[in-house]
Chain A
Amino acid sequence: MSLFASLPHLVRRQRASLAATLIAPPAALAVAIVLNLILYMIMGRDPLAVLHAMVLEPFLSWASFSEVLLKTGPLLLIAQGLAIGFRAKVFNIGAEGQFILGAIFASAIPVWFPQATGGWIWPVMLLLGAIGGALWASITAFWRVRLNANEILVSLMLSLVAAQFLYYLLLGPWKDPAGFNFPQSVMFQYDAMVPTLIAGTRLNVSILIALALSIVAWVFMEKSFMGYKLQVGGLAPRAAGYAGFKESRAIWLSLLIGGFAAGLAGAAEVAGPLGQLQRSISTGYGYAAIIVAYLGALHPIGIIISSVVMAVIYIGGDNAMVSANLPIAAVRVFQGSLLLAYLIAVAFVRYRLEWPAQTSAKGSTP
């Protein structure tokens, strides 16, 4: 027989075991760490020093751990929103753009009313940001429902448009007149900033909002009928059609929720650690959140854990760049290999390898 016939093939398991489902993410993380350490060795770095900088240091001081939590906030928010859509098989890949629009919408208040004061400002900014993200996502939903335009492509390309729109604002109408021609807005007034949670750190209230919304997401997906309808649409679209659950509604809802959460995260970022609208408001949160969502098995609780893991990789990667002289691409490579390892792990949760039967051994049992 040919070579092809002697290779093992994937056979679908009768059902995935819960244990395997739970083990897959940490196993993927372990594999990704080992692979990357080998890579660092090949690059001539001391793997133990990198490991120390990346994995341990973020936990060693309160200052660096508060930075981990600070990064966790936007990742957690975006990933919770995206996961709801992913479970409905609506693939919003454009959270990055929705994040940017959220940041822009939120910035409108301090940019247009820099003198305004009052405790209402930052909540209104967050709300505006969420609305901005949802509006941006609604463009994708509209074309998907109207013309069946693929939401992956539309949302992804709209992210590039959003970035250009941001640059236009920063180079033109919203440029800080006293900013030495740097492409950034005015610094926001005090009331336009999300209150800090712990004095001496940059950690602010938005992490609590993210955790609260995680609980809301859990109730929505696990307890509500609407969340149930979304899951049916994702698992068995024809069953959704049979039951009369509208696909268009699932698409709208998924994208609006994803856009709302990403926009909120964008608003919290400019009204939090940044304090102004800049070119580099996002370090790829919108894309990293996709990995976070899947690493958390699209489950609200899992995502809380995976968003911390991803934040550690961000902070640890920054540390390693400084202390172990790693290139800036190292963090991206780590994220990429983590996603890849996870996808392979998940494949083995649902499938098993089967080697071709040893023909001589079987069939002749007495």
Chain B
Amino acid sequence: MTTPLLSLRGISKSYGPIKANQEIDLDVAENSIHAILGENGAGKSTLMKLIYGVEQPDGGTAVWQGEPLHLASPAEARRRGIGMVFQHFSLFETLTVVENIRLVVPGRKAELTERIRTLGRDFGLEVDPLAHVHALSVGERQRVEIIRCLMTNPKLLILDEPTSVLPPQLVEKLFDTLRRLRDGGVSILFISHKLEEIRAICDRATILRGGRVTGHVDPREHDAHDLARMMIGRDMPEPMPAVATEGGDKQLEIIGLSYTPDDPFAVPLSDITLSVRAGEILGIAGISGNGQSELAGLISGETVLGREQHDRIFMMGKDVGQLPAAARRKLGFAFVPEDRLGRGAVPEMSLVMNSLLTAHSLKLVNGGLVDKSRATAFTNDCIRDYDVRTPGPEAEAGALSGGNLQKFIVGREIMLAPKLLFVAQPTWGVDIGAASAIRRRLIALRNEGMAILVISEELEELFELSDTIQVLHHGTLSQPLVTRDTKAEEIGRYMIGASPMKASA
């Protein structure tokens, strides 16, 4: 075996009492696509931050092309030939592509424009160098990020969950780019928790669990089931079977809703029509930033329609378009928002006080005063029933991990016993076990006759949950597609706007 490009031995990193990485060994070969596989919280991000110089390890050694490697900063990492594309893009929306790249890469504008075009042709990363970033799709923005890394001629490119923002068709295209890069002499560290993708593209895989390496495998020699077991340390729970139900009352109906937000960067919605019946789950698919947050605000009542918009949104049969959030909740509506900290929960307040946020209607307030003992009892029930890992009900919400806080918020809203439950991104940042528990719970509630609306970026999740799927793209909603008669590719076509012209953009 030849000298690996990057070789880590015994790398460890702790944050206070939390051991994020323990004794990590990792060899990345030249010209390979190497997967780092693990659940949320397994230590993938920490390891990448150590390799990219964002953080320094507490112990262990790193060897880069046969020489010891000590990185003090990402800038040094880039000089040594390590580039990274983060999950969340760092581009200035009001600048053009080439202007964004010029912030990092020295050179004349005309020359850079030419290099962007060349790189685009060579690696299938087509993007207009003179376009403004705010006008680009998510896929194009990702290409800009990759090009920006490639401009510094890296030997190793780290991609953090690169497919999480892409529709299925563009995933294939990204993989094509990655294979071309590998053949062109760039090794790739590919971070993901999606097993099929890793089997499709990676030559090697290192599996992390609880901050430790649990295996080095060739992913093509194992099926997804094997990989999942290595990743979560036990068998995957079975999904909850959905009982066929007669369509109940329409608990949510939106008819021909168009809405132009005040914020110029927000997505206008046009002619949205949907309905959710009791005993039914409707899933809304689509890549974030296509109007999801605008639609969610209009349904929850955080955004209210103007007086001229009558008969657009109905809940439990009532026109609620002008009703504020509190009034909609009184009708039997509950909502889990996509952002937990600062919206679904107040980070500086205890879990008890966060229970009060929406559960005050369950007699937790008595004569205008907070009934502390009832609120604490409610919180304890929620912590127990939804397996929230926390020191206790008095812990600050901000001190909980993302997944545990999500379990708390989902639990709190379900305990309100709503007629209509709206969950945006039910399992973002939640580990596989807890995610599957949340999904089972949602299906059980559906079987009991609750109307549930789910917005999610994860197609697999929507296929597991929904009776019907509609796709949101550029502020318009597709017709309803019955899940069991629909293929993922079909949803994917709607996700990128159906017409072949737009698909190549």
> Which A residues contact B (CB, under 8 angstroms)?
14-15, 219, 223-226, 228, 231-232, 235-236, 238-239, 241-246, 357, 359, 362-366
Contacts and interface: CB of A to CB of B under 8 A. Distances in A.
Contacts of A246: 324, 326
Nearest to A364: B70
A366 B68 CA distance: 12
Given A15-B399, A235-B348, A236-B347, A243 B342 contact: no
B346 interface: yes
Given A236-B347, A359-B72, A242 B335 contact: yes
Contacts of A235: 346-349
Given A15-B399, A235-B349, A359-B72, A242 B370 contact: no
B365 A241 contact: no
A246 B353 CA distance: 18
Contacts of A243: 325-326, 357-358
A357 B55 CA distance: 10
12 contacts: A15-B398, A15-B399, A224-B370, A228-B356, A232-B346, A236-B347, A242-B325, A243-B358, A246-B326, A362-B70, A363-B57, A365-B57
B353 A241 contact: no
A223 B369 contact: yes
Nearest to B57: A363
B306 to A, nearest CB: 17
B71 interface: yes
Given A232-B346, A244-B325, A226 B368 contact: yes
A38 B417 CA distance: 65
A305 B300 CA distance: 44
B343 A239 contact: yes
Contacts of B16: 14
B60 A365 contact: yes
B358 A357 contact: no
Contacts of B68: 364
Interface of B: 16, 56-62, 68, 70-72, 300-302, 324-329, 335, 337, 339, 342-349, 353, 356-358, 360, 365, 368-370, 396, 398-399
A239 B342 contact: yes
Given A225-B369, A236-B347, A244 B353 contact: no
Contacts of A14: 16, 399
Contacts of B335: 242
A36 B439 CA distance: 63
A223 B370 contact: yes
A82 B57 CA distance: 48
B56 A363 contact: yes
Contacts of A363: 56-57, 62, 70-71
Nearest to B357: A243
Contacts of A232: 346, 349, 357
A212 to B, nearest CB: 18
A241 B342 CA distance: 10
B72 A236 contact: no
A84 to B, nearest CB: 15
B372 to A, nearest CB: 8
- Pick from A15, A224, A228, A236 the residue with the most CB of B within 10 Å: A236
A331 B412 CA distance: 52
Nearest to B62: A363
A239 B368 CA distance: 20
Contact of A239 (B57, B58, B357, B370): B357
A338 B210 CA distance: 49
Contacts of B328: 244
A236 B398 CA distance: 12
A236 B56 CA distance: 33
Contact of B365 (A225, A359, A366): A225
B343 A242 contact: yes
Contact of B346 (A224, A236, A364, A365): A236
A244 B360 contact: no
A335 B71 CA distance: 48
Contacts of B399: 14-15
B346 A239 contact: yes
Contact of B329 (A228, A244, A364, A366): A244
Given A239-B342, A363-B57, A15 B368 contact: no
Contacts of B345: 236, 239
A244 B56 contact: no
Contacts of B327: 244
B368 A241 contact: no
B481 to A, nearest CB: 30
In the A-B complex, the 3 residue pairs with the smallest Cβ-Cβ separation, listed nearest first, are A244-B326, A244-B325, A359-B72
B100 to A, nearest CB: 22
- Pick from B61, B72, B396 the residue with the most CB of A within 10 Å: B72
A1 B324 CA distance: 53
B324 A242 contact: no
A241 B344 contact: no
Contacts of A236: 342-343, 345-348
Contacts of B329: 244
A198 B6 CA distance: 83
A349 to B, nearest CB: 13
Contact of A242 (B302, B353, B356): B302
Given A225-B368, A236-B342, A243-B357, 19 more contacts: A225-B360, A225-B365, A226-B368, A228-B353, A235-B349, A236-B347, A239-B342, A239-B357, A244-B326, A244-B329, A246-B326, A359-B56, A359-B70, A363-B71, A364-B61, A364-B68, A364-B70, A365-B58, A365-B60
Contacts of B325: 241-244
A232 B349 CA distance: 9
Nearest to A219: B369
A87 to B, nearest CB: 11
